[in-house]
Amino acid sequence: METLELLLQGFTTALQPEYLLYAFIGVLLGTAVGVLPGIGPAMTVALLLPLTYSLDVTAAIIVFAGIYYGGMYGGSTTSILLNTPGESASIVTALEGNKMARMGRGASALATAAIGSFVAGTIATVLLTLLGPIVARWAVQLGPADYFALMIVAFLTVGALLGSSAWRGIASLAIGLFIGLIGTDLLTGQARFTFGSAQLGDGIDVVLVAVGLFALGEALYVASRLRGGQIPLIPITKGWRNWMRKSDWARSWKPWLRGTAIGFPIGTIPAGGADVATFLSYATERKLAKGENKKQFGNGAIEGVAGPESANNAAAAGVLVPLLTLGIPTTATAAIILSAFQTYGIQPGPRLFEDQPVLVWALIASLYIGNTILVVLNLPLVGMWVKLLQIPRPYLYAGILVFAGLGAFAANFTVFDIGVLFVLGVIGFFLRRLGFPIAPLVIGAILGPMAEAQLRKAMQLGNSDPMYLVESPFSIFAYGSIAVFIGLSIWLGARRKKYEARLAAETAASETSAMAAVDAEILEHEEHAEHAEASERGAPSEAGDRSDSPPDTR
């Protein structure tokens, strides 16, 4: 009952015209960046961090949450119409959604993606509403050693499992920890890794880290890989009657619920996220399909759109559970939202629900509102989002670079920050080119100082005895869970790679059979043509032979 009262108070705040406008702006921007390939929520939130200083904290966090949710929605549009996912979590949607669009059912694919996202987002937000206070009340009992153990779990799982290999992820994490420790040690007063620069005495601002690595570095990387040319769009049939048939509803509602059940818990674990959830949902739907529905997989099965898109948005809400209750980000976007809290002097964690109840419940209420706005934006206005793809890429990425520079300067109004931004951008660019993930780096830079502070508190309480770090039952459980998390994530990743390989083989086989059918048709057509030509040449000759033969004298 108390939770319901707090949620109603949150709606009282979130439904104020000012915050409704910010929620609308957030989901609008999120959908736009989700549609544009290569520009995701992490980059957008990083770019906007310096530009939201003039807003109050509630408005800023509502905008960032809207961008996060909207980006998950928008990624499905390009996956379905272009076969080019705007977000990595929308890769699976392209497998069946683009096939549906090619068969003239693009409107149905977009509708089931949007409605499924709404259903999953709403259910997952209800779960966040119910579980958030419970987890927060339990987490208040954790001590410094327990928190340090939690952060070690986050470091190792995210570092080892994100990226193409474990060593690349750990190396990226180490670079992030190094960046996070730059500055003056508040306990001893000693300068660390400042290289004699007085400007680095206060450390590197998390805004510069986020903007440099995600906005500048990612923009340079994506721009270096994009090529010019006209983007081939698949036209869609307009009109609400073309959205979903009764049979589509009957085939979609169960995948929506299953996708939600898969996505939410996976979103709460470190290194889980929407990517793993969408592949697992697709594999589940493919396995459960029967009869004619099973034959449609690989050729435009609507279940292959409904399930993954639901898992995608449910995982986005799941990510907010450890972020708000424990202060632990499990994705890159969550890490940047964490840095947004910190710029306002607020530390997410167990006491957030007690110290900032207005902010927390207004944020949760805005998620319900944002989901509703997103349905309105994505169903009837899909044509408007597609037009964004016509923006010339040089202008787009030039604008990102300009915003990155302005944001870096606005952080502290010093030219030195522009230089730091450039260095971080170059580091981010080359790391991406070499296959190193950026998310562990950002998480290391943001959580590194926090982990150091908890470690020092724990050592003070334990009289500098290292065994104090593993004395509490929770810390033992946390360290033991590392193996479970890594094993689970490796298993999920292996299943994902297995399905990727199988789908690639099936796609290649279908394309080969299609080409063989075309070749056979062409060959048959040529044979008919030759036969007809031979018949035309032979007919007069046979007639002439008959006319030249002597008459029968019998």
What does the pLDDT read at residue 97? Answer: 83
- The pLDDT score that the predictor gives to residue 544 is 46
Type of residue found at 252? S
Least confident of 116-120, 159-163, 179-183, 412-416: 159-163
- CA atoms within 13 A of residue 44's CA, in its CB half-sphere: 29
Q: In one letter, which amino acid is 377?
A: L
Task: Of 104-113, 171-180, 247-256, 271-280, give the lowest mean pLDDT range.
Answer: 271-280
Residue (of 72, 69, 106) closest to 89 by Cα position = 72
With cut-offs at 50, 70 and 90, classify the pLDDT of residue 11.
Answer: very high
**What tokens does 434 get?**
């070499």
> pLDDT-derived band of residue 361, with 50, 70 and 90 as boundaries?
very high
Per-residue b/e over 31-62, b at no fewer than 16 CB within 10 Å? bbbbbbbbbbbbbbbbbbbbebeebebbbbbb
Q: Is 403 helix (H, G, I), strand (E, B) or coil?
A: helix
d(CA 132, CA 350): 9
Q: Please tell me whether residue 525 adopts helix, strand or coil conformation.
A: helix
Q: Above pLDDT 90, what percent of the chain? A: 10
Identify the residue whose tokens are 């589509």. 248
Return the top range by mean pLDDT from 23-37, 75-89, 362-376: 362-376
Cα 279 to its chain centre, rounded Å, is 13
User: Helices (DSSP H) in 291-351: which residue ranges?
Assistant: 291-295, 303-326, 332-343
- Rg, Å, the chain Cα set: 28
What per-residue confidence (pLDDT) applies to 402?
81
pLDDT of residue 445: 86
Instruction: Tell me the C-alpha distance between 236 and 78, whole Å.
Output: 13
Paired tokens of 397? 């990425």
What percent of the chain is modeled with pLDDT above 70? 78
Taking residues 15-26, report their average pLDDT. 92
Least confident of 87-96, 377-386, 394-403, 513-522: 513-522
Mean pLDDT of 447-456: 86
The span from the CA of 150 to the CA of 445, in Å, is: 16
Residue with tokens 């590197």: 204
Residue 200 tokens read as 């680095």
Assess contact for 370 and 355: CB atoms under 8 A.
no
Q: What pLDDT was estimated at residue 509?
A: 59
Between residues 43 and 144, the one the model is more confident about: 144
Half-sphere exposure of 114 (CA within 13 A, CB side): 25
Residues 6+ apart with CB under 8 A from 230: none
- The residue written with tokens 């450390």 in the block is 203
Confidence of residue 366 (pLDDT cuts 50, 70, 90): very high
Q: Is the pLDDT of residue 450 over 90?
A: no
Dihedral sign for Cα 136, 142, 148, 152, please. Answer: negative
- pLDDT band for 126, please (50, 70, 90 cuts): very high
Residue 287 has pLDDT above 90, yes or no: no
Query: Which of 267, 228, 214, 275 lies closest to 39, judged by CA?
Result: 214
Tell me what pLDDT residue 489 has.
66
Closest CA to 424 of 213, 254, 120, 240: 213
Q: Which residue(s) pair with 191 in the sheet? A: 184
Q: Taking 60 as the threshold, does the pLDDT of residue 515 lie above it?
A: no
Checking if the pLDDT of 19 tops 90, the result is: yes
What are the structure tokens assigned to 162, written together?
């994100």
- Residue 408's pLDDT is what? 74
Query: Band of the pLDDT at 548, cuts 50, 70, 90?
Result: very low
Predicted local distance difference test score (pLDDT) of residue 436: 85
Give me the mean pLDDT over the 6-28 stretch.
92
Tell me which of 290 and 513 has the higher pLDDT: 290
The number of residues in the chain equals 554
Q: What are all long-range contacts of 353-357, with beta carbons under 8 Å and residues at least 24 apart?
A: 353/132, 353/133, 353/136, 353/137, 353/324, 353/325, 354/136, 354/140, 357/6, 357/9
> Which helix H or strand E contains 396, and what residues bound it?
helix 393-412
User: Average of pLDDT values for 508-518?
Assistant: 51
Mean pLDDT, rounded, for 51-68: 86
d(CA 206, CA 338): 10
Range of weakest confidence among 99-108, 485-494, 528-537: 528-537
Q: How would you class 530 by CB atoms within 10 Å of its CB: exposed for 0-12, middle for 13-18, buried for 19 or more?
A: exposed
Average pLDDT, the chain: 78
Closest C-alpha among 94, 64, 103 to residue 76: 94
Asked whether the predicted pLDDT for residue 372 surpasses 80, the reply is yes
Q: List helix spans (H) across 83-143.
A: 91-102, 106-139
DSSP 8-state code for residue 238: -
H or E segment to which residue 52 belongs: none
Q: Which one has a higher pLDDT value, 364 or 471?
A: 364
How many Å from the N-terminal Cα to the C-terminal Cα in the chain?
117
Q: What is the pLDDT of residue 13?
A: 92
Highest average pLDDT, of 66-80, 247-261, 285-299, 540-554, comes from 247-261
